[in-house]
Structure 1
Amino acid sequence: MPGVGDAEVTDAERIMARKMGHHLFGDLANYKGFPVTLPSDEPSIPPEIGSYRIFEYPMPATQQPYKLDGDEFTQGRLTALYSQDRAGQLPGEHSMVVAVSATVSTASEALDDRPINDNERIAIYVPGGGFIKSDHPSFKLVYIRMSQEMGMRVFVPRYHVAPAHIYPRPVHDMYTALQHLESQGFRPENIVIVGVSAGANICLAVLQLLAAEGKSQRIAGCVIAEPFLDLTMSHDSWQRNQHVCALPYVPPTSPWSMSRFYLGPVDEGVDPIEFLRRPMLSPISADVSVLPPLQIQVGCDDVMHDSCVEFAARVPSAELITYEGINHYTMFRGRTQLDRYYGNLRRFADKVTAA
């Protein structure tokens, strides 16, 4: 499906992307949230390219209360979310996008949230956005492109974002989406999870919740691209790559950093860094022995680079793929880079879901 980010990146575009990124994420003090997406904003996609559907769903009746040993802070917040959701009092609905390329399927049931066959493979894609953006109208073509490249349907949980919804609401949204798909008949061993940036952080938090239930390794595999693994932003690449990456460094001690926007307010006198070091917030310190097969993709010019290298060193079975000259913006720009990204993604998905 040519045309979705295929044009090669120019130097002028790199400069513009860096300026825009530093302006947006460097000025979160004035951030009021992205405007509500109106139905008229949704793209019209020709059926010969693909199709998508947005649907709502309740928390499954089979979903159990959370159990997370060793993190009373997160356990308390998750318990409150679960109780509100079970009582029908949680603000905002659960919704998801299902997208399919015309090269994969044109059948009407392709937009259903049930398996097309008993052994259907699917991808669950969790987009990034610095915890302040989730699904967006412009992303729909990306989902369809991913469906084409991976040869499977793509499901995208629409998680709630900061500042209106703080940690761990996106984790609850993503976990509930996974529970819904399983309740509809999808088998975990046929599911590949793909998370990007902040979305990768959320994916790894969900895998930790599944690990607490002894279920994390039932998932076929997980791909994390330019993942936000350390919300304390303590690695050298945050400083070293500032002049080439679109993401600015705003100290996590500042209430206007991406990390603190996601965490939300803390009590006076409490060190926010101590909260941000928790494995559910900074997966770099999580128990990696419980993870399913993992692929990590990151650019050498990305501010996330060093944390990815350190994380991969802790997961000997993980496949680490780095790209010279690629940063947080150019990871998904240009035909050359997209061919590499999707090629590695498809190869991994085929390997972990092979019969």
Structure 2
Amino acid sequence: MLQSALATGLRQTMQRLVKPVLSPLVPIPVQRTLTRQAYRSSIPPRGCRFENTRLGGVPTVKASYGKPGKRAVLYFHGGAYIIGSPQTHQGLTGHLAKASGAVVYTPDYRLAPENPYPAALDDAVATYRALLDQGYQPEHIAIAGDSAGGGLTLALAMRLRDEQLPQPTSLTLFSPWTDLTHSELAAPASEPVIPQAWIDKAASLYRGNEPLTSPYISPIYGDLSGLPPMLIQVGSEEILLNDSERLAAKARRQGAQVQLEVYNSLWHVFQVHAGQLARATDAVQTAGEHIRRCMAL
């Protein structure tokens, strides 16, 4: 009963306070400021440690819990490539550090419109290379991300494959944004978080001079063969539901190992409520187990 009431309250908070900010009519600097305040309610687990560092020249926040050893998760935050930061996602990355038993590195990759594609992807490659340079073995590295960060996770894995660099052990994708054309968005009865007009504008700001169907921008249009095992988690109450379902189907057709989990009555990147909402906590725990299993821990 308490969890049901909490879910209702969180859904209403997203609908009434967060969704109105995510509008093309709201200046992006204001969006960044207000969403940073909204994410203050996403709290990392007690005992989680955060440290500012750099990877490949990119400012990065390092989250650790317990004694993780030489194992790393490279995590890319969401925000439609125009908002968000490692700080906004400390609650989620802190819980993922605890669940995975690994150090979680969250790069502060460059955002549009100041830095359109390929800036974010170039930063992602630089941070991954930096982990290798620091002595992390590919078999002890995982990549994860939410929303735009989920799309960036896929784009990075594809580029690593295309450039014949060592692949990570796994990909973990929370509500990934994989089709920036928005040609096949879902139509849920309720969408508490994302207005389509906002992601339409964000896509146009991020694309630079490239078509939205470019595989490194919209990975659903790319070759998904040869990628590491994927875990995809998505809520039933989000317009990006089809992005996850189409991605899972295509990846399976092309020989990838995929686990798709659809969480009924939950919304876009509900995992930010880990530590409060039991289903979100369980989802992050499942993600941590996926990462551990693929690292053979």
TM-score bracket, shorter-length normalisation = 0.7 to 0.9
1:158 aligns with 2:108: yes
User: Residue by residue, what CA displacement relative to the aligned partner does 1:85-124 show, whole Å, maximum 9, x if unpaired?
Assistant: xxxxxxxx521111112xx13xxxx8xxxxx5xxx22211
Tell me which residue corresponds to 1:247: 194
Q: Distance in 2 between matches of 1:251 and 1:97?
A: 27
> Kindly tell me: are residues 347 and 241 of structure 1, through their superposed partners in 2, closer, same or farther at Cα, counting changes over 3 Å?
same
Question: Percent of aligned pairs with the same residue?
Answer: 23
Distance in 1, Cα, partners of 2:99 & 2:83: 24
* More deviation, 186-195/26-35: 26-35
After TM superposition, the score normalised by the length of structure 2 is 0.85
SS in 2 for 1:155: strand
Q: Residue type matched to 1:140 in 2?
A: Q
2:260 matches 1:313: no
From the superposition, tell whether residues 354 and 235 of structure 1 become closer, same or farther in structure 2 (CA, over 3 Å).
Answer: same
Residue in structure 2 matched with residue 198 of structure 1 by the alignment: 148
**Alpha carbons of 1:136 and 1:242: their partners in 2 closer, same or farther (altered >3 Å)?**
farther
User: 1:56 maps to which residue?
Assistant: 54
TM-score normalized by the length of structure 1? 0.72
Q: CA RMSD in A?
A: 3.1
Deviation at 1:54, TM superposition (A): 0.7
Give the CA deviation at 1:138: 4.5
Choose the corresponding residue for 2:270, options 322, 330, 336: 330
- Residue 170 (str. 1) matches residue 146 (str. 2): no
Match of 1:87 in 2: none
The answer to whether residue 290 in structure 2 is matched with residue 292 in structure 1 is: no
Pairwise CA distance, 1:154: 1.1
1:308 and 1:338 map into 2 onto residues whose CA distance is 18
* CA distances 1:7-53 after superposition (whole Å, capped 9, x unpaired): 96343431331233432222356323635xxxxxx9xx999713211
Aligned pairs for 1:215-226 within 5 A? 215=165, 218-226=167-175
Report whether the alignment pairs 1:23 with 2:17: no
Number of corresponding residues: 284
Paired letter, 1:155: Y
User: In structure 2, which of residues 55, 65, 74 is the aligned counterpart of residue 124 of structure 1?
Assistant: 74
| Structure 1 residue 336 displacement after superposition | 1.9
Alignment match, 2:37: none
Q: Does the CA contact (< 8 Å) of 2:22 and 2:198 recur in 1?
A: no
Which ranges of structure 1 fall in alignment gaps of 5 or more residues?
1-5, 36-41, 60-92, 111-115, 267-271
Matched residue type, 1:249 = Q
User: Could you list the runs of 5+ residues in structure 2 that have no partner in the other structure?
Assistant: 34-39
Aligned to 2:292: 350
- Supply the AA of the counterpart residue of 1:215: L
| Correspondence for 1:38 | none
Aligned to 1:94, which of 58, 61, 68? Answer: 58
Deviations 1:108-154 (A, max 9, x none): xx8xxxxx5xxx22211111112122325343343322211211211
Work out the CA distance in 1 between the residues paired with 2:189 and 2:109. 28
Greater radius of gyration (CA): 1
